[in-house]
Every structure is written in C-alpha cells, then in structure tokens.
Amino acid sequence: MFKILKKEYLTSGIFLMDVEAPKVAKAAEPGQFLIVRVDEKGERIPLTICDYDKVAGTVTIVVQVVGLSTQLMDQLKVGDYFKSVAGPLGMPSELKEMSVEELHSKKIVFIAGGVGTAPVYAQVKWLHEQGIKADVIIGAKNASQLILVEAMRKVSGNIYIATDDGSAGFKGLVTNCLEDLVTNQHKQYDLAITIGPMIMMKFLSELTRKLNLKTIASLNTLMVDGTGMCGACRVTVGGVTRFACVEGPEFDAHQVNFDEAMRRQTMYRTEERSQNALTPDHICRLDKIVERRNK
Amino acid sequence: MKKTPRTPVRELAPSYRITNFEEVSLGYNGEEAMLEASRCLECKKPMCVDGCPVSISIPNFIHHIKAGDFKSAAEVIAQASALPAVCGRVCPQETQCEGRCILGVKQEPVSIGKLERFIGDWSRENDITPETTITPNGLKVAVIGSGPAGLACAGDLARMGYEVTIFEALHKPGGVLEYGIPSFRLPKETVVRHEIGNIVKMGVKIENNVVIGRTLTIDQLFNEEAFNAVFIGSGAGLPKFMGIPGENLNGVQSSNEFLTRTNLMEAHHDDTDTPLKLGKVVAVIGGGNVAMDAARTARRLGAEVHIVYRRSKAELPARAEEVHHAVEEGIIFDILTNPIEIIGHESGWVKSLKCVKMELGEPDASGRRAPQVIAGSEFTLDVETVIMALGTSPNPLITSTTKGLELNRRRCILIEEETGRTSRDGVYAGGDAVTGAATVILAMGAGRKAAKAIDQFLKNQAIE
Ligand SMILES: Cc1cc2nc3c(=O)[nH]c(=O)nc-3n(C[C@H](O)[C@H](O)[C@H](O)COP(=O)(O)OP(=O)(O)OC[C@H]3O[C@@H](n4cnc5c(N)ncnc54)[C@H](O)[C@@H]3O)c2cc1C
Ligand code: FES
C-alpha cells in the first residue's frame, strides 16, 4: 500500500503525487488532510488532500520542497512507497455542511497563495460538481511559481491571477487584487475561503474584516499525531485554544490569532532556534540523512 | 517465622543512567528469582490474587519458580495475561498484589512484580510462546486502539476463535506502551514489540494508520466491513492545559507531545527526522507518573529539570518508586508551588514561569488537604521549556462520530460495569476510554472482561 502512482512537477520546487491509499480516498472530503511518513525514521508530515479518486483508491498531494522532510519526499519516485499514510484527518470544509440551495445562493471567492492553490482546487472542484462556480484568486511570487491555473479554470468561475512582480495577471498581492475587485469592480461576495501562507491569510483576513466579508482560513499548523493527542497544533480562535488537527484545519479567519499562529509555526525553524537549545541542529543532519536514504 | 529480606533488584547507577535511555531496573536472574520466590508462603486463600485486576494465579506461578520450572510458571501466567514482561514492569504492585501480600504485615511483601517480569523476560529470551490451539469460528470482531485494553481483548477473542482486527490510529501498535512510557522504564524493541508479537502470532491482525471516526466509522465497521462486534479501547489521549496566560508560547508543550516526540518518533536520535527542542532548564508541571516520565526523559537529554507541584511531597500521585528514581537522578522538586503565568521573551519563546507558593489548608470533602495560595508569595523561575503533565481525558473523535453512544459527565464512554457493554448494541468499551487515565493492568482487565462478554453476546445471537 501507499504506492506512488504518479509524480509530476508543477514548478521546479513544487510537485504533485498520486498515492495509493484506498481507505483514505474512500472517506476523504474537501478541506481534510492526511499524514505521511517517508520511511521508518521519517517524521509525520501533514499535507492537505488536493484531490481524490474514490474509484481508483488514490489521493493527490501537492508538495513544496522547503525543508528536510519535503526534500526526502522529493527523492521518492513513481513506484516507490510511503511508509504510511493516515487519514483523512480534520473536519471537512464548512461548505459540506451547507445545502445545495444555500451554496447556490452564495457568491464564493477563494484566495489561494502558492502551494495553497492545490487544496483550494479540491474545494472549487467539489463545488463545480454541485453545479456551483466560485471565483478564484491565485497568488504567487511570479509567473513561474503559479500552479494548477489551467485545471482551476476548468472548474471555477472567474479566475484572477496576482503576482508580486506582475509577470502574470495583476501586479501585486492577492489582498490588493481582492480589494480591487470589491471596491473598484463592485464584485459582491458572501464568503471568502483562503488557503496559503499564514502571513497572506493574516492580511487577507484583515482586509475582509474591513469589507465585512465572512472568511474561512485553513491553518497549516505544526502537528505530530494529527488525532488530538498532543496539542502541538493548538491555535487561539476567538480567545479559546483549539486543536487544528481535530477541530480544524479550517476556522473563522476573523477569530484566529494569526500572530500567535505564525510564531508557533516557526518553532522548529533553524534560524529561530533558541540559543540555549540542547538538541542537535536539525538541518545540519540533512546530509547524513540523505546519505541514509540513498543506501 | 523466619524473616528473609526481600531480594534486592539490581539497578543502573543514577550518574550513568541519566546519560542514556537504557532500562534502569535490571530485574532478577534465575537464582535471584528462585531466592525471592522461596519467601512466598503459598497461602491457601491468597490475598494477592484478589488484588490482581486480571487474577493471575500468583502463588501457583511462584511455586513453579521455586522449583526452577520457569516454563510452567510462564504457562500459569499466560492463562491470565499476555503481557507479563510489560505488567511486571509498570503495574503499581504496591497497591495491588503486593499490597495484599500477607508477608507485608510484618516485613516486606514478596516481590511479585519482579518475579512476573522475570518470567516474561525468561520466556522471551528462551523463545517460549505459550501454546494455543485455535479453532476459528468464522465471526469477526473489530478492536479500536492497540493499547493494553485493545491488546488484551483481541488476544482473548483470538484464543476463542474469533477473527480479530485491531485498528490503530498511529503508525505503531501499543498505545501508551509505545508512545507514552519511556524506554528506560519499558524497553520498546525487546519487551513491548515482543509481547505484541505474541498476540499477532495468535492470529490477531493489526491495521495501523486507521483513525476510527475519520477513516472508518463504527457504523461502517458493522455495515460495510461485516464485523459482528466492536470493542473500543481508544484510551484517554486528550491532553489538559492549565488555562493560564502564556500557555501557547513557543517552548510550552503537553507531556503527550514531548513523550510522543521522544518515544514514538525517537526525535532525540540523530538519524530520525522529527525535531525536538528542549531548553537547558525545564519545568514539568504536575506530580503524577506522567510528570515523572517527562522529567526523567528531559533529564536524560541534558536539562536541569524542575517538577512544579502544588501540593506537598506526601500528596504526589506518582508511584513512590518513580519519585525515588527521579530524586536519585537529580530532578528538583518545587513542591507547594503553583504556576500562574508563563512569561515570554520578545521572540515568543518561554523566558520564565511565574509561580505562587502554596500551603495545605483544612481537608476538603474528599479528605485531601486543599492547597491554598500564600498571599504575596509570587516569584519567577527562569526556564526555557515548560511541559504540562496535568492529566488527559478521552478523545472525542469516536464518540462524536458514533450515534447512540452514551457518555458520562467526564465525557468517558458509559458501560455496564460487569460486561463493558455500551449503549450501542454489539459495541463494548474498556480501559482509559471508559475510566479516564488509569493503569495498564486495569485496561487489560477491562479488555478481558469485554472479550468474555462479546463471546457471550455473539453466542446468544447465534442461538437466536
Ligand atoms: C507517560 C505515561 C506513563 C504511564 N505509566 C504507567 C505505569 O507505569 N503503570 C501503569 O499501570 N499505567 C501507566 N500509565 C497509564 C497507562 O498507560 C494507561 O492507563 C493504559 O495504557 C490505558 O490503556 P488503553 O488500552 O485504555 O489506552 P491506550 O494505551 O491509550 O491506547 C489507546 C490506543 O488507541 C488508539 N486510538 C485512539 N483513538 C483512536 C481512533 N479513533 N481510531 C483508532 N485508534 C485510536 C491510540 O492511538 C492508542 O494507541 C501511564 C500513562 C502515561 C501517558
Ligand atoms: S497534532 Fe497532535 S493534537 Fe493536533
């Protein structure tokens, strides 16, 4: 089980994989995530489910190579196996709770940033299957970092691209783009759903609060077990501590304490390492580990 | 009556053991075991058996040890427990079998736990697997959770001929035995995995990475996977926090997180990927066994460790042996101390713990003397890591996704005491999921009780 059936690079640093995991695929719903382990020594890596094929028994994940574990994942090829895949975890998207009539009555806009475009695709596609077309804003640093634009076009309503350098679409941030749509182009939305870097979601949520637009954010917190056992994933929402892995990952963005969430997310980044840390530097071990994997 | 002192058990020296995760207690060898066994009076009405939640025929197995017939001793234990090397190590014998031993009135009780452990270890080292002949009966039972409750229930049902599948959320089986209790008290590779292996040898299938309530629901287990009965042994894994300011600062974690990183993920080993960050000074909040385990683990990773506990030493809920080992290892006990706030650096990392001093007031309704704050006693303790070991409660993942499963006020699954039967037909439960955090042996006892009741239930169903 957990065989990799397909691997495709969406950009030089972002790849997509179809993984055999029939039980997970069968139960998966938009908004949920899974946890993979690369091998016996691997950590438990949470990844949002980007697509699933209940008939073929596969799930699709999209991964941006950022650190040790994603580099190790990148070494896996078609035909290789993950040591384990557990899921689906977390609560399905709030959209799942609404009736089709209710969904039809709402104008929904998705705001995707970077690799967050992939899980947004899962939800937009699901809405499309219910006969609903949502608008989507996709943001990236530049044109070469954009992913899944064509696939998204097939299942969405209007698509807006925003790049920092203007190499594709709107020049600027997704927040500027949404503000422009609402204030200048008089677009009306009832619900915004955002998945992307924490900092982007933070500023987006500040904007939509001003616009009085209900917003849901999917939080990619640190996690260990993903079943509610450790509390590594805790976030403050509306002043209350919540476990993102079981009560989330989606929360009312206007209630989320993003500053705390961003700070907690950096806990294991090398540059943030406390001077007094006793444990060996994680990234320094990379060479050794890569050597182990190549054996 | 001749008084023979208890045979002492060899232990690693504290100065050595704080440098590694080797098992602290070395256990008896054959000679020591026989010597200790010779102290047993083999009472006609053995009180020790009453004290054992799974009713091991204690004088009987000790009788065989006396004669040096370890194989027969193993067979006696196997009738009641599939995890002797585990239980011999982690059971609170002082309040169970050994607490009832008649020798204990005038002198020290027989070291029943150490003898049980010896037999468990001896069986493993000599490759003795208790013989069982199993006749399959064609009925399927699903067990949720591979902790002691689930393992005991699965083992018994397999022996009766049921086709048993354990569904476990994590990637390794064992529950708390694997992710909670550290290897210096309970070695994983040798002891835990071997005894789980014995249960697998009886035909029990373990499916890891299946989260019931998410991957599959209990209804699906019946309707789609054709199970005839379900046992819930999902434990009490939900960590508690204090609710004081600063609890979400970087460097504050639950004992479950810390122990899962070190035990399950082996984060302290260089060749594993899971990260671990521990400061030079660590405060562990709480006074139970879990707090001792977290403190002793942090000590082994090189930290100066403080146990911060709001009552006095006499009230520490941890086993005396654990406290003794912790003291030997240089853990600092800040008793009658209660944290009221965690203070952070500008960076968001923990800087210190603001505490107040406590004193014990008049006994409350439960007879325990309630701790009260001493006015004006506020002080700060400079620490870099804070580990919350305040207890756990059952995880709502299953109960919130299963209709008709009744809970009590503490969100534990409600059962009929004698059978483990829940409010859902064909669904049984036991262990920490029912009692809240308790012990390995109580969980095993509950699993065995439920196995018997499930057998009865399915036999009755067959007759109807
Ligand atoms: C650090 C620590 C030290 C301890 N020390 C001792 C000791 O020395 N002596 C002692 O007697 N007791 C000790 N205990 C308590 C003891 O470990 C527990 O009482 C006992 O393990 C409970 O057994 P259980 O089978 O009910 O649950 P657990 O051991 O908690 O096992 C439950 C299992 O179910 C799995 N699970 C949960 N939800 C799901 C789901 N939805 N789907 C699938 N699987 C699921 C979990 O992943 C877990 O593996 C200690 C506990 C801790 C945390
Ligand atoms: S990841 Fe452990 S509780 Fe959420």
Beta-carbon separation of A278 and B278 below 8 A: yes
Q: Which fold has domain B241-390?
A: FAD/NAD(P)-binding domain (3.50.50)
Q: pTM to 2 decimals?
A: 0.93
User: What is the per-residue pLDDT across B121-173, written as a single tens digit (0 to 9) for each?
Assistant: 999 999 987 777 888 999 999 999 999 999 999 999 999 999 999 999 999 99
A75 and B CB contact within 8 Å: no
Domains A2-89 and A94-265 agree in fold:
no
Across the range B405-434, mean pLDDT stands at 94
Lay out the sheet containing A51-53: strands in order across.
A4-9, A14-20, A58-64, A51-53
Q: Is the pLDDT of residue A282 over 70?
A: no
Q: Is the pLDDT of residue B187 over 90?
A: yes
Q: Does any ligand 1 atom lie closer than 6 A to the CB of residue B254?
A: no
- Nearest listed ligand to the Cα of residue B150: 1
* pLDDT given at position B442: 93
Q: Which of B170, B265, B270 sits opposite A280 (nearest CB)?
A: B270
Among A223, A247, A265, which residue has the most ligand 2 atoms within 8 Å of its CB, making it the best to mutate?
A: A223
Count of beta carbons in the 10 Å neighbourhood of residue A218: 24
Cis peptide leading into residue A249 (ω within 30°): yes
CATH number of the domain at B10-125, out of 3.10.129.10, 1.10.540.10, 1.10.1060.10, 2.40.40.20?
1.10.1060.10
Across the range B261-271, mean pLDDT stands at 89
* HSE-up of residue B321 (Cα within 13 Å, Cβ side): 13
Cα separation, A178 vs B371, whole angstroms: 56
* pLDDT given at position A276: 40
Query: Which protein residues touch ligand 2 with a CB less than 6 Å away?
Result: A 223-226, 228-233, 243, 245
* Confidence at A280, pLDDT banded by 50, 70, 90: very low
CA-proximal residue: ligand 1, atom 34 (nearest): B145
* pLDDT given at position B87: 93
CA B14 to chain centre: 23
Q: Nearest-CA distance from A53 to chain B in Å?
A: 15
Q: Nearest-CA distance from B438 to chain A in Å?
A: 16
* pLDDT given at position A219: 95
CA B444 to chain centre: 10
The pair of three-digit structure tokens given for residue B375, joined into one six-digit string: 């006015």
How do the domains of chain B map onto residue ranges? Answer: 10-125, 140-237+393-463, 241-390
Beta-carbon separation of A83 and B171 below 8 A: yes
Residues of A in contact with B271 (CB under 8 A): 41, 285, 288-289, 292
Across the range A60-88, mean pLDDT stands at 91
User: What is the per-residue pLDDT across B78-116, written as a single tens digit (0 to 9) for each?
Assistant: 988 889 999 999 999 999 999 999 999 989 999 999 999
Q: Is the pLDDT of residue A281 over 80?
A: no
Q: Mutation target for B interface from A72, A198, A229: give the one with most B CBs within 10 A.
A: A229
- Nearest listed ligand to the Cα of residue B149: 1
Q: Which fold has domain A2-89?
A: Elongation Factor Tu (Ef-tu); domain 3 (2.40.30)
A94-265 carries CATH number 3.30.1490.190: no
Q: Is the pLDDT of residue A279 over 70?
A: no
The residue with tokens 């399927």 is B140
Across the range A34-63, mean pLDDT stands at 93
Q: Which atom of ligand 2 is nearest to the CA of A243?
A: 4
- Cα(A196) to ligand 1 centroid in Å equals 36
Across the range A4-10, mean pLDDT stands at 94
* pLDDT given at position A275: 38
Residue A28's nearest CA partner among A6, A61, A3, A5 is A61
Q: Does any ligand 1 atom lie closer than 6 A to the CB of residue B212?
A: yes
CA-proximal residue: ligand 2, atom 3 (nearest): A228
CA-proximal residue: ligand 1, atom 41 (nearest): B212
Residues B264, B267, B270, B275, CA torsion sign: positive
Q: Is the pLDDT of residue A283 over 60?
A: no
How do the domains of chain A map onto residue ranges? Answer: 2-89, 94-265
Q: Which fold has domain B140-237+393-463?
A: FAD/NAD(P)-binding domain (3.50.50)
Among A241, A245, A264, which residue has the most ligand 2 atoms within 8 Å of its CB, making it the best to mutate?
A: A245
A238 and B CB contact within 8 Å: no
CA end-to-end distance (rounded Å), chain A: 22
Beta-carbon separation of A231 and B208 below 8 A: no
* pLDDT given at position B268: 87
Q: Mutation target for A interface from B274, B282, B300: give the one with most A CBs within 10 A.
A: B274
Please give the ipTM for the structure prediction. Answer: 0.91
Cα separation, A244 vs A128, whole angstroms: 27
Q: Is the pLDDT of residue A284 over 70?
A: no
* Confidence at A270, pLDDT banded by 50, 70, 90: low
Q: Is the pLDDT of residue A291 over 80?
A: no
Across the range B328-338, mean pLDDT stands at 97
